[in-house]
Amino acid sequence: MNEPSMPGSGSGPVVPRGLAERAREISDGRLAPAVPRDAATVILLREVGAEAEVAAEVEAFLLRRTAELEFAPGAYVFPGGSVDARDADPGVGWAGPDPADFAALLDVPPDRARGLVCAAVRETFEESGVLLAGPSEDELVRDSTALAADRHALLAGTTSLTEVLARRGLILRTDLLTPWARWITPEVSPRRFDTWFFAAALPPGQAATAAPEGFGDHADPGESESGTWLRPAVALAAARAGQMTLLPPTAVTLGELAGHPSLAAILARRQVISPRLPRVIVEDGQVRLHLPQAGEERP
């Protein structure tokens, strides 16, 4: 899906034949769309290259999905994943805007907002090793590599984020998260997600890395084979040149980021998040994906 027109156009890529048939079955009433599962993703950002007379440039961290995955193999994505039932644990340590504050911005009930915020932090830690937490509301984890065992345990599903934070004497730093967007997988997809995007700056002293292949004697390849920092405009240019694959929400988000002059401007953005639901349309005998533009909301 390396469409050069993605960030600024409502027309998207041609839908594969299998999905095109599903679209016709759903349109004819022969098939019900799958129910989307809640998910969260974090756009990790950093500034680089600041000098006396040169402004810093913003880079985003992108993971390359392994070729073996059924969904979007080889695509570059932001860290993220599905909400786990344990993410809604009310006992999690918390500093910053509370679930009610996020609920107002995300347009969901507070309990659901808590699960989304916790999933965003947990998935970011699992997939990039970056932990948006600290021992107090004024401190941050300075070196998350010391928490490698906890990262692996979360990946293996043998512990929860609440348990990790309590054991380490840490609390969530929700003030680091800026709600950015909400994307719902098209109805034609057999696997659907209702995904909230958050933006966050890389905490000082921490480093982002792809999910570890294993810890000790226990191998775990994870979903990503590598990670890289790229300026949004550079990533979009690479996608247009066919050098990397970007899913539509990733490409649109990178285009939005490129329109901001600084990291501070990105993180200062505040608005109620409206869902974006790409639609499958038939045009000139082809079934295409229509990408919603700014201001277009889910009907």
**How many other C-beta atoms can be found within 10 angstroms of the C-beta atom of residue 67?**
8
Strand, helix or coil for residue 168: helix
Q: Which pLDDT score is estimated for 284?
A: 67
Q: Which pLDDT score is estimated for 291?
A: 78
Amino acid identity for residue 97 in this structure: P
Strand, helix or coil for residue 238: helix
All residue ranges of the chain with pLDDT < 50 are 1-10, 215-221, 298-299
Q: Which pLDDT score is estimated for 290?
A: 81
Task: For 171, list phi and psi in degrees, rounded to 5.
Answer: -135, 155
Q: Which pLDDT score is estimated for 10?
A: 45
What angle (nearest 5°) sits at the alpha carbon of residue 205, between those of residues 167 and 146? 35
> Which 8-state DSSP code applies to residue 66?
P
Q: Which pLDDT score is estimated for 8?
A: 42
Q: Which pLDDT score is estimated for 5?
A: 40
pLDDT in tens, 53-78: 557 899 999 999 877 666 667 889 99
Q: Give the dihedral of Cα atoms 140, 145, 150, 153; nearest 10 deg.
A: 140
